[in-house]
Each structure stands twice: as C-alpha cells, then as structure tokens.
Amino acid sequence: MPSLTNVSSPPRGSSDSLAEPLVRVEELTVRFPAGRAGFWGQEKLYLHAVEGVSFEIGRGETLGLVGESGCGKTTTGRAILRRVPLDGGRITFDGEDITHVEGESLRRLRRGMQLVFQDPYASLNPRLRVLEIVAEPLLVHGVVGRVRHAEDRVAELLELVGLPPEHMFRYPHAFSGGQRQRINIARALSLEPDFIVADEPVSALDVSIRAQVVNLMQDIQERLGLTYLFIGHDLSVVRHISHRIAVMYAGKIVEIGDRDEIYEDPKHPYTKALLSAVPIPDPKLEATRKRITIAGAFPDLLRPPSGCRFHTRCPIAIERCAHEEPPLEEKARAHHAACWLT
C-alpha cells in the first residue's frame, strides 16, 4: 500500500509556477447575515467567516489550507469558485479579474474550476449510474448531447482514476468509500478544469485508503498539470500533497509558506499548537516532545476578538495583541506569519 510517511517534495507542474499565479486572492472577505440583536433589533449581525484573506496559487501547485473546524476553509474555497457572495476583495483567475463575473461568463469560468467534496456518500446520487454521474457536467455544459455519447469519455475518465471502465454501468451503492471518491474525482475532471478545490477529500475515508486517494490526486495533478487548493484536517495528509501551506484561524490566514518551512519551523503560536498535536511515527520522539494545548474556546465569529484574533487563547499574548492586529509579514524566505512576537 502506498504510504504517507514519505514526504519528498511533490513536483510542481511548471518550474516558473510562482511567476504568474493561476489563482490570486486579495483581501477576500465573506460575512454571512446572522439576524439582529439589541432590544429593537437595531443591530444587524454578521458572521465574519473570512476576513481579508490574501494568497496566490501557482500553476501546477497545491496550496494546503488547514485550521480547526469553523475557521473558514470551506467558505474560502467556495468564495474562489464564486459560490458564495463576497463582501470584499478581489479574485483573479488565469490573469482575469473574476470577482464580479456573472451569467454566461460565470458558467464558462466554472468549467475551469471544480470542487471535490468531503463526503463521497452524500455527493453521489444513488439513483444514477456512474455513467450519468460522471457525464452530468458534460451534458450541463453542452459538451455532449446525450448520455450515450459520453461513454468513451467516461471510460477514459474512469481509467484515469483507476477504475475499470465497465463500472460505469453500476450504481453508487456498489462502491466503497475510496472508489466513490474516485468517481467524484472523475466527475470533477470531466470538463478538463485547470483548478480544483478539494475540500477534505479524504477525511471521510478509512485511514488505510486515504493514501491511495491522495496519491491518485497527486498523480493526476502531474499528468494534467492541475492546480489544487487542498483543504484538510489531517496534517500528515496535507503535508504529503502540498507545496505550500496556509494556516487559518477564525477567518484569517495567520501563517503561510513553503511546506517544509511550516512543518519544520512554524512561526505562529497557533501553527505550533496545531503541529504539536500531530503524532510522530517515531515512538521515542513521540514520548519526549511537548504537546501544546490551546486553552479556551474558539471565538464567536459574530463578535470576533479585537487585535489578533488568536490573542484570547494564545499562550504568549501580550497587551498589544488585544488592541493591534499583527500584519502578515515575512519572517523567513517565502514564509509569512501574523504575530507581534515571533
């Protein structure tokens, strides 16, 4: 079985991938209306899900996005795909400002950007055969007129994801979780996208098959030159597949940099705490290292903390952190963090 412990650097699609990013996000902000407060209901409440997030993803590159539940990872991914309304910021895709693209242009744009979801059980319609499931985007976008005209293409896609082409005539219930996720990936690839947001694509799978699906994604990336935003909880999986990592806390990027930099020399106290919880395969090392627990509760995003959003739980916070927000600044080469103290 392929292993996730080998973390040699995955190759990038092109050597100058950072020269002209495929995806650029600037000051992305998403706030969800969340009712009213106050005696007369005079205060409109907003849930500050994503606040001033900026990053770039080079062609052929994988940016891993990590952070605890509710920090805004999914919302960030959906915002880039223009699936949630923005409250601010700018999104550039392949050199084009897509922040306000609508109608037919948005439809065309969506062909080039696809989403792979976490739950391979919920995302496949049990009443459709694999053929109809994988061919659906082709029909919706008018690439083929009838399902049976898509059979060759679906066979090709199934082969690409390591499934026998004749499986196209089966229904989802006949497949395991890992196989279902392969079907999801085949569907996402049907329109030959350049960019895929993979939202915890292996989190719902058995640990033993996560490696297979992640390795498949990596293999397909190399073959097709794809660019990924890979959202994950499992930090060893994210480390395996990502070239760079962004760490999110309460709607903000607190640290971003090259994969090995982040794992070997984390700068932000939140990243340090997250990484200290990842098990190390070596039992001797595992027994001696210090685990940093994050005290307190995740903040209420209706009223996010002032200053640094992490200050209410930070083990090293000082007075300044409660009042002034630290900028995301370069702490080492290609490695940025938002902290006054590191």
Ligand X SMILES: Nc1ncnc2c1ncn2[C@@H]1O[C@H](COP(=O)(O)OP(=O)(O)OP(=O)(O)O)[C@@H](O)[C@H]1O
Least distance in Å: CB of 77 to ligand X? 8
Binding residues with Mg ion: total (CB under 5 A): 1
Q: At what angle do helices 151-160 and 177-189 cross, to 10 degrees?
A: 120
Least distance in Å: CB of 118 to ligand X? 7
Question: 115: part of which helix (H) or strand (E)?
Answer: strand 113-116
Least distance in Å: CB of 83 to Mg ion? 13
Least distance in Å: CB of 73 to Mg ion? 5
Q: Rule CB under 6 A: which of 319-338 touch ligand X? A: none
**From 23, 28, 47, 229, residue interacting with ligand X (rule: CB under 6 A):** 47
Nearer to Mg ion, 74 or 190 (CB): 74
Nearer to ligand X, 71 or 196 (CB): 71
- How large is the greatest C-alpha to C-alpha distance in the chain, in angstroms? 66
Alpha carbon distance 250, 244 (integer Å): 20
Pairing of strands 335-337, 23-37: unpaired
User: In a 10 Å sphere around its CB, with 0-12 CB exposed, 13-18 middle and 19+ buried, how is residue 35 labelled?
Assistant: exposed
Alpha carbon distance 299, 250 (integer Å): 7
Q: Does the footprint of ligand X cover residue 32 (CB under 6 A)?
A: yes
Q: Rule CB under 6 A: which of 66-85 touch ligand X? A: 67, 69-75
- Binding segment for ligand X (CB under 6 A), chosen from 6-14, 65-73, 146-154, 214-222, is 65-73
210 binds, among ligand X, Mg ion, none (CB under 5 to 8 A by kind): none
**From 4, 22, 25, 49, residue interacting with ligand X (rule: CB under 6 A):** 49
Q: Rule CB under 5 A: which of 57-116 touch Mg ion? A: 74
Least distance in Å: CB of 291 to ligand X? 21
Q: Does the footprint of ligand X cover residue 237 (CB under 6 A)?
A: no
Sequence-distant contacts of 99-103: CB under 8 A, at least 24 apart: none
Nearer to Mg ion, 69 or 208 (CB): 69
Nearer to Mg ion, 74 or 184 (CB): 74
Alpha carbon distance 342, 329 (integer Å): 10
Nearer to Mg ion, 63 or 135 (CB): 63
Least distance in Å: CB of 67 to ligand X? 6
Least distance in Å: CB of 269 to ligand X? 19
Contact 264, 53 (CB under 8 A): no
Alpha carbon distance 6, 10 (integer Å): 10
Q: Rule CB under 5 A: which of 236-295 touch Mg ion? A: none
Q: Rule CB under 6 A: which of 275-314 touch ligand X? A: 301
CA distances from 7 to 1, 121, 215, 219, 225 (A): 15, 29, 11, 14, 20
Nearer to ligand X, 222 or 234 (CB): 234
Least distance in Å: CB of 231 to Mg ion? 6
Nearer to ligand X, 155 or 301 (CB): 301
Report which of 316, 208, 244, 230 is spatially closest to residue 10, judged by C-alpha positions: 244
Report which of 94, 95, 91, 93 is spatially closest to residue 76, judged by C-alpha positions: 91
Nearer to Mg ion, 134 or 231 (CB): 231
Pairing of strands 62-66, 244-249: parallel
Q: Tally Cβ neighbours within 10 Å of residue 146.
A: 9
Least distance in Å: CB of 103 to Mg ion? 28
Alpha carbon distance 199, 65 (integer Å): 9
- Which residues form the interface with Mg ion (CB under 5 A)? 74
- Which residues form the interface with ligand X (CB under 6 A)? 32, 47, 49, 67, 69-75, 301
